[in-house]
Amino acid sequence: MKTEGKMKKQTVKRTAVSLAFAAATLAGGHVVVNAQSNTVEQTINTNSTTESIQTNDTAEQSQKQAQKNYDNANQVAKDAEATASASKASQIATQNKATTEKNNVANEAKTAANSAQNVANTSEKEAEANKQASTDANKAAAEAQNAARKAQSDAKAAANTAKTVTNPSDESIKNTKDASDKANTEASKAEQASKTADNAKDVAQEDESKAEKADAIAKENVDTANNVVTNAKQAVSSAQKAVDNAINPKKAATEAKAAQDTADAAKKEAANKNKVADGKKENLDRATANTQNAKDKLDKASSAKNDADSEEKRATEAVNTAKTNVTNLESILKSDKDAVDNAKQALDEANKKYNDAPDGHKAMTVAQFLDSISNNKYTEWATKGGEKNDGVYRQIFGTKTTKANDSDMTYDNFMKALDCIDALNKYREKNGLPDYIVSGSHMASQMLECDLVDGYDDIHYHTVFFGETNEKDISWYAEDPIANWLDERNTFKSDAQDYFNDKDTTETYKTDFKNVDWNSEKSVVPFAYKYQDSINTKNHVYGHWLSLVSLDPEYVGMGFSSGEGQQNTYPNTATAGFSTDKPQNGVNGTTKDFRDLAEEAKTDTTLQKTALKNAAEDAQVAYNNAVTAFNTATEKLEEAKTEVTNCENKLTEAKKAASNAAIAMNNAQSAYNTAKKAEEDASNTYNAAKAEADTAQANANDAQSKANAAKKAAEEAANDQGQAETALKNAKKNLEIAESNLKIAQDKKAKADQDVTETKRALNEATETANTAKANANVAKNEADKKAKELKAVTDARDVYNKAQKAAIDAAKIASDAQNKADAAEQRAKTLDEKQQCLNNEAIKAKTKADALKVIADEMNNLPSDQDFLAKPDTVDPVIDWLKAYDTTNMDIKASVNDYARRLEDAKKLAEKAADMQIQVDADQKAAEKARSIANDAKVTLDKANQRLAIEKADSDAAKKVDTMINALPKHPSAKDRDGIMNVYRRYQALSDSAKAMLPEGDLARLLAAMKAANAANIAGTNGNAAAVTAKTANSTVSGSPKTGDNTAAGAEAAAILAAIAGLGFARRRRRESEEDA
């Protein structure tokens, strides 16, 4: 790693190194070394009067003419380049229009095909949906017809059955009923006779018992005759009561006749009630028929309402679909409107950018860029020039400042220099130190410095050029220059530790060393400035590190050269320059600011104006397209709104039809409800009439039963009265007998025996009579039962007949209803079949159109690519010819095909126009290239003129400075002035031959005289010291000077200076001798 030392500017104040000067006595050749250290305060009077030193007027005139020629050529080149760019932009715009139109035709054809396919798919779905409904309707119609046929068969069977049932006549029913009633009457009489006979039998049995009792009594006790008399008396009394209580037969007969009259009236009323009930039954049958008719109408109205509701639903769905389409189109229209607004805004912005944009600039060279950030100081510094010499410091070389001379100034190296500054500031921030400010002036000077010292054939140390910096650093080979420089801190720390360990070190130093915080640069740096000369016993370098960690820094600039791609160049050369005062030239800022400036500078912005124009034209095209799309969307929206209106009108009609159907169904429902109510009322009326008839019949039956009971009671009353009177007579007779036979009890005993026999006989007769009456009653009852069965049979036959007739009527009604339903189902199936045919036709049409549009869209795939189309526009001809030859009866499709063909022909014309424009584009481009070549040649000439002028100006400036310094020399120099005079001499030696020739004639003589006087004073000051004085050399922090700790180097410098003085004296004498000879 090669790192050179630090160099400080010497224009205001300089700390001189301790030099061991060799005093050469010209006579004896003895050399005396005197070690001394002087600080010279040197003030240069820049306003002192000097002779005029000017540059060559011819060079300045040549530079001005070269500048004028270049400006003219550059303007011509710019104009030609602008023309070429505009020509190319016009061609590109034409090409874009051609390809856009071609692609729009293809896209529209594909969009139309997709839309038609969607319509076809929808039509097919509707046809498929209706097909299922039609199939279901036909199936339902067939099932209804089968049901109707079965109902008709059932009705016919019911009718036949009704015909086979016999309807008994009312007369036969009446006769059967009369016979039954008569038989019942006879049965009642027979039963009554049987009961009477039983009563007689009972009486006979009682008589027998009485006779036996009387006989027993007579036999047992004659005295009982009194009891018999008593009993007889009681029997007479009882018989009298019986006679008194017996019913009057005449009254009973009258009541029986009245009861029969009541029964007859009840029968008549019952007959009337039955007749009324039959009439009500007929009304009920008519009401039932009316109800069924109303039910049929209700079913029909309900079916019609369902159809109307379905139609309304379909109409509603159509309206919703249409409205959705409107909503979607409104959304599209809004998007298109937004697109128009955005496109208009973009157009306005593009036009504004184009109108406001400057004409732009070519990419700057690095030299131009460095000029731009240093107020053109870079060119001023880089063109001062000079030659190499053998002095310690080197002058800059104008020949090493351009790319043509292998300059290593590149934007990449500039960026790497900024990276180094970032690394430096990062280290400072980490250690609590403020950041350096980047100076454009310092960046320009250090890039120049780095460019001059980075090669094997260049300067191998600092130049004497400072620019506006106060301090400079150099580093070679280091991958990380900042880290390399900062590593000197570790060296300093190690040396400080070694110096601390030295036994001769002062206690003050040791105390200060112990107080140093090695983790803080703020603690280390002051310590280093104070003791670096004492510590540096090993000739180490600390200056780079100390400049990087300065506690009061302000401005910095760095240079960098990677060495890549260049011959004889060091790898990774870095330079740095610093100042505490703000530079008077250039811009200042952060590394980011300078990166942005560099990016802008190296970018060619001459085409920006053309690009902005093209962008404005493209924005205009985009705006026009957006407006067209918006207008198209507006038209489609209006069409969609019209469709909504049509659908809403159809919906209104459907709603009206549905409303009418609903009203009709409500009317039918009302009629059905009325009929049903009438049927229920008729049924209730019939049931009431039937109940009344049944009640009347029951009352008649009851009245007849009562009449029969009254008749029987009259008959029984007549029998009971006779028996009671007979019993009374018998009781009186018994009483008379008891009374008459009281005395003849024995005789009556015999009579009692006779009575017993007689009563037994009477009992046998009564028993026989009772048995005969009972048999007669059984016969009469059987006859009555038989007649009752006959009455029930004829009544049941009437019921069977009525039911059969009603079943036939009901079956006929069911058959009629079934037929009506079957007819309605057939009509609905027929309607759906007709609709299916229409839907099929529509689907076929839609499919045909979709297929046709797909063929057209597929043909668009044969269109050439944009590149092929622009290269050869007639590649679109096959598609155009195909479109023109396309034949169809669909006028809409034909119109679209013709429009596609026309637009493709327009696109072809535009492509042909763009192809024709290529000739002009090429011509303009060649003209621009030729103009630029001429401008470049003019620029080369201008650069050479500038270089020559800069070299002459640099020589002039350098000569002026040396002249000023010579005029400022003391008239009577002493030994202490020797260093300052030596410095002036070095500056004179550094001048080029042309600069030396510009010095006034007396300058060299005054310089030689001053040097001689100072040397003589120095020699005089050392005459008292015969022995060689061992000089202790002082270490210096001035980086860039010879290593002051090296006595050999110091002695060599002193010897060289004294030799030069001798040479000057010799030359002076030779000149004077020549003048004298002349």
Rounded Cα distance, 974 and 977, in Å: 5
Which amino acid would we find at residue 333? L
Q: What mean pLDDT comes out for the span 908-916? A: 90
Residue that wins the pLDDT comparison between 733 and 510? 510
What pLDDT, on a 0 to 100 scale, did the predictor assign at position 29?
A: 33
- Residue 795 CB burial class (10 angstroms; 0-12, 13-18, ≥19): middle
Is 90 exceeded by the pLDDT of residue 582?
yes
Is 80 exceeded by the pLDDT of residue 553?
no
Neighbours of 1053 (CB within 10 A): 18
8 bridge partner residues = 471
Q: Please, what is the end-to-end C-alpha distance for the chain in angstroms? A: 59
**In this structure, what are the phi and psi dihedrals at residue 467, rounded to the nearest 5 degrees?**
65, -125
What pLDDT, on a 0 to 100 scale, did the predictor assign at position 125?
A: 83
Residues 6+ positions from 962 with CB-CB distance below 8 Å: 984, 987, 988, 991, 995, 999, 1003
Q: What mean pLDDT comes out for the span 336-353? A: 90
Q: Which domains are delineated in the chain?
A: 7-43+1002-1077 (no CATH), 170-254+613-857 (no CATH), 366-603 (3.40.33.10)
* Contact call for residues 973 and 1010 (beta carbons, < 8 A): yes
pTM of the model: 0.33
Between the CA of residue 869 and those of 100, 121, 861, 904, 979, what are the distances in Å? 11, 35, 13, 11, 84
Is 80 exceeded by the pLDDT of residue 1025?
no
What pLDDT, on a 0 to 100 scale, did the predictor assign at position 567?
A: 59
Q: What tokens appear for 633 in the block?
A: 């969307």
Residue 366 CA from chain centroid, whole number: 51
Average pLDDT over the chain, rounded to an integer: 81
Rounded Cα distance, 292 and 657, in Å: 26
Is 60 exceeded by the pLDDT of residue 1068?
no
What pLDDT, on a 0 to 100 scale, did the predictor assign at position 974?
A: 84
Rounded Cα distance, 215 and 748, in Å: 8
List, edge to edge, every strand of the sheet that includes 555-561.
Answer: 7-8, 471-475, 573-579, 555-561, 437-439, 588-589
* Contact call for residues 461 and 392 (beta carbons, < 8 A): yes
Rounded Cα distance, 699 and 701, in Å: 5
Interior/surface letters 630-662, b for 16+ CB within 10 angstroms, e for the rest: beebeeebeebbebbeebbebbeebbebbeebb
What pLDDT, on a 0 to 100 scale, did the predictor assign at position 507?
A: 92
For 10-67, what is each residue's pLDDT tens digit?
Answer: 332 222 222 222 222 222 333 322 322 232 223 223 333 333 455 556 778 888 888 9
* Contact call for residues 200 and 741 (beta carbons, < 8 A): no
Rounded Cα distance, 1012 and 500, in Å: 46
Residue that has been written with the tokens 């159109």 in this structure: 849
User: With bands split at pLDDT 50, 70 and 90, how would you rate the model's confidence at 612?
Assistant: confident
For 153-179, what is each residue's pLDDT tens digit?
Answer: 888 888 888 878 788 888 888 888 888
471 bridge partner residues = 8, 578
Rounded to 10 degrees, the C-alpha dihedral 267/268/274/279 comes to: 180
SS3 category, 888: coil
Is 80 exceeded by the pLDDT of residue 486?
yes
Rounded to 10 degrees, the C-alpha dihedral 445/447/450/451 comes to: -110
- Residue 1004 CB burial class (10 angstroms; 0-12, 13-18, ≥19): middle
What pLDDT, on a 0 to 100 scale, did the predictor assign at position 635?
A: 92
What pLDDT, on a 0 to 100 scale, did the predictor assign at position 397?
A: 46
Rounded Cα distance, 702 and 267, in Å: 10
What pLDDT, on a 0 to 100 scale, did the predictor assign at position 1015?
A: 78
Nearest CA to 97 out of 925, 924, 912, 916 is that of 912
Helices (H), 357-410: 366-373, 377-382
Q: What mean pLDDT comes out for the span 663-678? A: 90
Rounded Cα distance, 411 and 363, in Å: 11
SS3 category, 602: coil
User: With bands split at pLDDT 50, 70 and 90, how would you rate the model's confidence at 457?
Assistant: low
Nearest CA to 486 out of 433, 543, 536, 534 is that of 543
Which range, 518-532, 672-686, 773-787, is most confident?
518-532
What pLDDT, on a 0 to 100 scale, did the predictor assign at position 675?
A: 87
User: With bands split at pLDDT 50, 70 and 90, how would you rate the model's confidence at 248?
Assistant: confident
* Contact call for residues 120 and 849 (beta carbons, < 8 A): yes
SS3 category, 34: strand
SS3 category, 32: strand
* Contact call for residues 886 and 896 (beta carbons, < 8 A): no
Rounded Cα distance, 991 and 985, in Å: 10
Percent of the chain topping pLDDT 90: 22
What pLDDT, on a 0 to 100 scale, did the predictor assign at position 892?
A: 84
For 704-762, what is each residue's pLDDT tens digit?
Answer: 888 898 888 888 877 877 787 888 888 888 888 877 877 787 777 788 888 888 888 88
Alpha-carbon Rg for the chain, nearest whole angstrom, is: 76
Rounded Cα distance, 294 and 311, in Å: 25
What pLDDT, on a 0 to 100 scale, did the predictor assign at position 348?
A: 93
Helix and strand counts by DSSP (H, E) for the chain = 23, 8
What pLDDT, on a 0 to 100 scale, did the predictor assign at position 721?
A: 76
Residues 6+ positions from 8 with CB-CB distance below 8 Å: 14, 470, 471, 1038, 1039, 1040
Is 70 exceeded by the pLDDT of residue 784?
yes
- Residue 996 CB burial class (10 angstroms; 0-12, 13-18, ≥19): middle
Residue 701 CA from chain centroid, whole number: 94
Is 70 exceeded by the pLDDT of residue 569?
yes
Residues 6+ positions from 338 with CB-CB distance below 8 Å: none
Of 282-296, 399-413, 639-653, minimum mean pLDDT range: 399-413
User: With bands split at pLDDT 50, 70 and 90, how would you rate the model's confidence at 895?
Assistant: confident
Rounded Cα distance, 276 and 220, in Å: 77
What pLDDT, on a 0 to 100 scale, did the predictor assign at position 460?
A: 65
What pLDDT, on a 0 to 100 scale, did the predictor assign at position 1052?
A: 40
Rounded Cα distance, 816 and 821, in Å: 9
- Residue 244 CB burial class (10 angstroms; 0-12, 13-18, ≥19): exposed
Percent of the chain topping pLDDT 70: 86
Rounded Cα distance, 119 and 414, in Å: 67
* Contact call for residues 72 and 942 (beta carbons, < 8 A): no
Of 180-189, 715-724, 830-839, 1020-1029, minimum mean pLDDT range: 1020-1029
SS3 category, 487: coil
